[in-house]
Amino acid sequence: MNKDEVRARIEEIGIIPAARLASAEDALFAAEAVSSGGIPIIEVTMTVPGALDVISELARSKPEITVGAGTVLDVETARRCLAAGANFLTSTGLDLGIVDFALKNKIVVIPGVLTPSEIMTAWKAGSDFIKIFPCAQFGGPSYIRALKAPFPNVPLIAAGGVNQQTAAAFILAGAVAVGIGTDLIEPEAIRQREHEWIRELAHRFLHRVTGARKQTQAR
């Protein structure tokens, strides 16, 4: 997928599942499970053992899944993720070197920020989306709503503490998408290899995001 296609898919689905798991096997299982539930996107964090191998395997064997690299902390890691086949790069903080690397290599980049000043810096640098992290701990949907007033054209992704009860509220507040970790990729479901459990969670989150978007369009 090219950069425009990746960006369009993230906007279309509105959910980025984050796999921060204990093994490569767990991450591969999670990617397949959420994809079967209608979310063909996965963020494989660099904290997963063998994360680069997971990205490479998914890029090779599951081309229908948009695979991203998460918790990318430096340009060298970004370079390795791109070589492994990552479709997008995201981090928990703002590193302008990573943003510049992504721009030069035409790959979607989603830095993590928290403050208005960081949003301005990240957006001026050319980021595709801006991830507000950790969002739930700093005001939740009301914080997204407050940020959208001065930044109406900046595509914000809410991440950190998003769950089934709040996902719709983040979309209604103005987030273009939500990043979801253990509330979607449930650790016990992963441990037990409960494919249908995660599939059902994916359906529920999609239903909430889709419903919220319909409400915003009806306004």
- Please say if 124 is a catalytic residue: no
CB 93 within 8 A of CB 110: no
Report the distance separating Cα 91 and Cα 114, nearest Å: 12
Question: To the nearest 10°, the Cα dihedral for 48, 108, 112, 117?
Answer: 160
Annotated catalytic residue: which of 3, 43, 64, 194? 43
Instruction: Provide φ and ψ at 99, rounded to 5°.
Output: -60, -45
DSSP H/E element including 62: none
Q: Judge if the upstream peptide bond of residue 134 is cis by omega within 30 degrees of 0.
A: yes
Q: Which residue has the tokens 């993720």?
A: 81
For residue 78, the tally of other CB atoms under 10 A from its CB is: 26
Annotated catalytic residue: which of 131, 148, 196, 200? 131
- Please say if 186 is a catalytic residue: no
DSSP 8-state symbol, 137: G
- Catalytic (active-site) positions: 43, 131
